[in-house]
Amino acid sequence: MNFSGWIIYNGHLPGQKFLDFAQWLQQAAIQKGLQTTIYKNNDLLAHLQTTSCNILTNKTDSLPDFVIFTDKDIYLAKQLEYLGVPVFNNAQAIEVSDDKIATYQTLVKHHLPIPETIIAPKQFSRTIPIDPSFVRQAADTLGLPMILKEAYGSFGEQVYFIHSYDDLLAKVKALQGKPFVFQQYIATSYGKDKRLHVVGEKVVAAMIRKASNDFRANVTAGGTMQAYEPSREEVEMAVRAVKAIGADFAGVDLLFGPDESALVCEVNSNAHIRNIYDCTRINVADFIIDHIVHKLKNRERNRNDA
C-alpha cells in the first residue's frame, strides 16, 4: 500500500523550529517509503459553501491519504476530517491539548493525578473591576506561593510564579479577560520535570529537564536535559494521559510529587522532537510514522472487509 500525505505547520510563526519539526517528520516518512508534502496552514484554505466544503490551494488538485498536523489550527484540521482525511493528531485531541483548562478537566475525568487546580471564573471585559473575593478564596485554598497558568501558551510561556497575595491580585487583573487557572505550587519539582514521549500505547523516549535559575524546566527557557528511564507507573500514567485526550502521540510532562509520585503537568499533542533526540538519540519521528502506517493499513483492511 502506497500512502501519500501532507505535513502541516503554521506559516505565521517566527523562527524555523516549526518547519524543522515538519521536515523531521518528512525525513522519517521518506525512509519508510511514504510520499509527503509539507504545507503551511495558510497555503490550505478551508472553503465552505451551502452544499459542500473543500480545501482551496494552488499546489494540488487531490486530497492526501493522511495528514500529520503539527499546528493548532483546529478549524483546518476539522475541515480535513469532514472531507474524510485521517488527521494525526485529530482535531479534538489538538483542541483539548491546546487548552490547559480542558486538559486538566479531561485528566481528572480519567482519574489521573494533577496539581490541585482552580479554574478562574470567565470574564468578558478587561475594563469592569473584578470582584477580588474569588482571588482570596483561591489563595486560601491553594496557599502561596502558587502558579498561574493561562489556558493557552507554549514553551513555558504564559506560566507565572506568584509569591504574594499582592502579586496574585495584580496578575489576575493583568489577565482579566483571558482564561487561566490557579494551581498548587509543587516545591519538589521546582525547575525540573520529566518529559515522556508517547506514541500509540508506548513511551518511546524520555528525559529529565532541569533549569538552574527558573521554576520552569523547558529547554526553550534555558533548561538542560538528561536521558531517563521512567518507572512502570510513570509509563502507565503517560500512556493513560495521551489516551484520555484522544491523541495518537504526545509529549507528557510529569512533575516530581512531594511523596516521590508523579503528577501530570501538561500533555502536548504537538511536542517537538529534536531536543529529545539530542538527549537520547532516539528519533520519535520514526515511531510516529510507523504508528500512522499501521493505522492506515488497518483502516484499509477494514474497508476491504466491509
pLDDT tens, residue by residue, 139-187 = 999 999 999 999 998 777 889 999 999 999 999 999 998 999 999 999 9
How far is Cα 248 from Cα 213, in angstroms, rounded to an integer?
34
Where helices occur in 65-174 by DSSP H, the ranges are 74-82, 91-98, 100-109, 133-142, 165-174
pTM of the model: 0.93
- What's the grid cell of residue 257? 510529587
Segment 33-44 mean pLDDT: 95
Task: State the pLDDT at residue 220.
Answer: 61
Q: Which residues pair with 54 in a beta bridge?
A: 47
Segment 46-71 mean pLDDT: 92
- Indicate the pLDDT class of residue 221, thresholds 50, 70 and 90: low
* pLDDT tens digit sequence for 242-299: 999 999 999 999 999 988 899 999 999 999 999 999 999 999 999 999 999 999 998 8
The overall average pLDDT reported for the chain is: 93
Sheet containing 224-227: give its strands across.
Answer: 224-227, 202-210, 192-199, 249-256, 262-268
Contact in structure between 219 and 225 (CB atoms under 8 Å): yes
How far is Cα 254 from Cα 196, in angstroms, rounded to an integer?
8
- Indicate the pLDDT class of residue 211, thresholds 50, 70 and 90: confident
Residue 219 has pLDDT above 70, yes or no: no
